[in-house]
């Protein structure tokens, strides 16, 4: 039996000059981290592909589950290697063909090494004839049951059958760091995921209302962050208490303006955390018009406190699209768990939908904003979601038990 390999193709669009080695090194690092413990080892990274060797303990299903979440991978396959020799290729392909009856097939060869004695068409024809004779299978070039991919590289030939699609995007870490404002809701984990897909390192910040409300929203934030680590998200979560400050705001400001004021407070605090972390942007799950606090007028007023870009990757999405994406990412079920957000307690019945910047500035001029920001920062703790002792089971026993089975 020939040794098995994992052959990984990455998207090459826009990969030029110095970006290329950086992209590839980050991708290799992320893949190695994700495959840790599965007995899979980097063999080489030549010819625009990554090749990993599967050790005796490696299990293909486990590898598929992990690689599906590594951004930067276009597709991957379980592959076998033979020397640069047609007869060796034919024999190995025959001995590895999937055992299926009455199927169609097609050979799809390509060459990185152009001085191989046969060109791609000739490889297709010759290997195709051997397979047809041996199996009785028919050729179907358009939509074969068994595609046989052959890649002639500089030192060897790889062949494989089924391609598994990767998630695309860019390797996490190559685009710099952002701070994502993570509530317990549906939208903000999706926003984080979209930034991960664009290669950003994403650190989450969650604001909670303890001790005035339960720990539920914080636990949701921890569990959501844990799911996002499967996509390359940072395991560190900033958990920031703002309940007392919100209570102060409630005592001293007109109800209609509170949500806008809370949001401006959150941005100010998140900005300080961004500076500490060397992050260059904030991220939120806002989408125009979704709720009262997210009218264009209010976004304008909220955004005025920002001294760095506030990225809103969901800004033009409908709720249905966001929910469908949350489901695919694996965060929807957690987001749907009941849990008091810090804002629910303090949300007025009729928030303004057209806040005016002059009014907000006038209200804020009477408040000790700097002290409040410092107070919130002073109470912030950094949770490592892999080692955090919080136990979601005590809150939502059956549902969380099932989730933990899915996500380990």
Residues that bind ligand ATP (CB under 6 A): 181-183, 185-188, 206-207, 266, 284-286, 290-291, 293-294, 341-343
Residue 73, exposed/middle/buried by CB under 10 A (0-12, 13-18, 19+)? buried
Phi-psi region of 118 (alpha: psi -120 to 50; beta: other; left: phi over 0): beta
Binding test (CB under 5 A) with Mg ion, winner from 72, 185, 189, 339: 185
Closer residue to ligand ATP in complex, CB, 151/340: 340
Which among ligand ATP, Mg ion, none contacts residue 342 (Cβ within 5 to 8 A by kind)?
Answer: ligand ATP
Minimal CA–CA distance to 372: which of 182, 244, 180, 215?
244
Question: Smallest distance, Å, CB 296 to ligand ATP?
Answer: 14
290 binds, among Mg ion, ligand ATP, none (CB under 5 to 8 A by kind): ligand ATP
Binders in 303-332 for Mg ion, by CB under 5 A: none
Burial class from Cβ neighbours inside 10 Å (0-12, 13-18, 19+) for residue 199 reads buried
Instruction: Choose among ligand ATP, Mg ion, none what residue 363 binds, the Cβ cut-off being 5 to 8 Å by kind.
Output: none
- Find out whether 206 and 385 touch, Cβ atoms under 8 Å: no
How many degrees, rounded to 5, is the angle at CA 49 between CA 200 and CA 108? 125
295 contact, one of ligand ATP, Mg ion, none, CB 5-8 Å limit per kind: none
**Closer by beta carbon to ligand ATP, 182 or else 216:** 182
Number of residues that bind Mg ion (CB under 5 A): 2
**Which of Mg ion, ligand ATP, none does residue 54 bind to, with CB < 5 to 8 Å depending on kind?**
none
Separation between Cα atoms, residue 231 and residue 233, nearest integer Å: 6
CA distance 63 to 27: 15
> Which CB sits closer to ligand ATP, 127 or 283?
283
**Pairwise CA distance, residues 130 & 135, whole Å:** 9
- Shortest reach from residue 185's CB to Mg ion, in Å: 4
Structure tokens belonging to residue 87: 């007869």
Please give the Cα distance from 60 to 102 (Å, whole number). Answer: 25
Closest contact distance (angstroms) between CB of 284 and ligand ATP is 3
Which C-beta is closer to ligand ATP: that of 50 or that of 200? 200
Q: Does an H or E element contain 251, and which?
A: helix 243-252
Q: Which of 180, 183, 217, 293 binds Mg ion (CB under 5 A)?
A: 183
Cβ closer to Mg ion: 156 or 340?
340
CB 57 within 8 A of CB 63: no
Does position 229 bind Mg ion by CB under 5 A?
no
Q: Does 189 bind Mg ion (CB under 5 A)?
A: no
Give the shortest CB-292-to-Mg ion separation in angstroms.
Answer: 12
Stretch that binds Mg ion, among 17-25, 85-93, 178-186, 358-366 (CB under 5 A): 178-186
Give the tokens for residue 342. Answer: 């810090």
- When CB distances to ligand ATP are compared, the closest residue is 185
DSSP strands (E only) in 156-283? 157-160, 164-165, 177-181, 201-208, 236-241, 281-283
Coil/strand/helix, residue 374: helix
Q: What is the spatial distance between Cα 18 and Cα 211, in angstroms, rounded to a whole number?
A: 50
Q: Which does 207 bind (CB under 5 to 8 A by kind): Mg ion, ligand ATP, none?
A: ligand ATP
Q: Residue with CB nearest Mg ion?
A: 185
Residues at the interface with Mg ion (CB under 5 A): 183, 185
């Amino acid at each position: 039996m020939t040794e098995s390999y994992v052959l990984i193709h990455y998207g090459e669009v826009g990969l030029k000059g110095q970006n290329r080695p950086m992209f590839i090194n980050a991708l290799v690092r992320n893949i190695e981290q994700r495959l840790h413990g599965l007995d899979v080892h980097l063999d080489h990274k030549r010819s625009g592909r990554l090749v990993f060797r599967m050790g005796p303990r490696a299990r293909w299903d486990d590898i598929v589950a992990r690689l599906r979440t590594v951004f930067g991978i276009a597709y991957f396959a379980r592959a076998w290697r033979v020397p640069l020799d047609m007869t060796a290729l034919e024999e190995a392909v025959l001995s590895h063909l999937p055992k299926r009856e009455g199927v169609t097939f097609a050979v799809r060869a390509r060459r990185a090494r152009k001085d191989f004695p046969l060109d791609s068409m000739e490889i297709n024809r010759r290997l195709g004839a051997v397979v047809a004779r041996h199996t009785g299978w028919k050729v179907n070039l358009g939509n074969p049951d068994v595609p046989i991919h052959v890649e002639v590289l500089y030192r060897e030939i790889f062949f494989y059958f089924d391609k598994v699609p990767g998630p695309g995007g860019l390797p996490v870490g190559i685009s710099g760091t952002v701070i994502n404002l993570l509530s317990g809701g549906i939208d903000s984990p999706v926003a984080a995921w979209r930034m991960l897909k664009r290669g950003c390192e994403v650190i989450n910040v969650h604001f909670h209302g303890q001790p005035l409300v339960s720990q539920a929203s914080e636990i949701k934030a921890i569990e959501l962050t844990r799911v996002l680590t499967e996509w390359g998200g940072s395991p560190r979560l900033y958990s920031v208490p703002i309940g007392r400050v919100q209570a102060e705001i409630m005592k001293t400001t007109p109800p209609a303006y509170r949500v806008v004021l809370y949001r401006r407070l959150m941005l100010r605090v998140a900005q300080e955390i961004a500076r500490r972390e060397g992050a260059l942007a904030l991220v939120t799950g806002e989408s125009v018009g979704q709720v009262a606090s997210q009218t264009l007028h209010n976004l304008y007023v909220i955004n005025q406190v920002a001294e760095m870009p506030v990225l809103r990757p969901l800004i033009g999405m409908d709720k249905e699209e966001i929910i469908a994406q949350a489901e695919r990412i694996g965060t929807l079920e957690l987001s749907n768990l009941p849990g008091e957000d810090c804002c629910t307690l303090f949300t007025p019945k009729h928030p303004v939908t057209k806040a005016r910047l002059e009014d907000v500035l006038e209200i804020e001029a009477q408040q000790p904003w700097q002290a409040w920001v410092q107070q919130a920062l002073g109470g912030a703790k950094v949770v490592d979601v892999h080692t955090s002792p919080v136990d979601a089971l005590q809150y939502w026993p059956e549902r969380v038990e099932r989730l933990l089975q899915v996500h380990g």
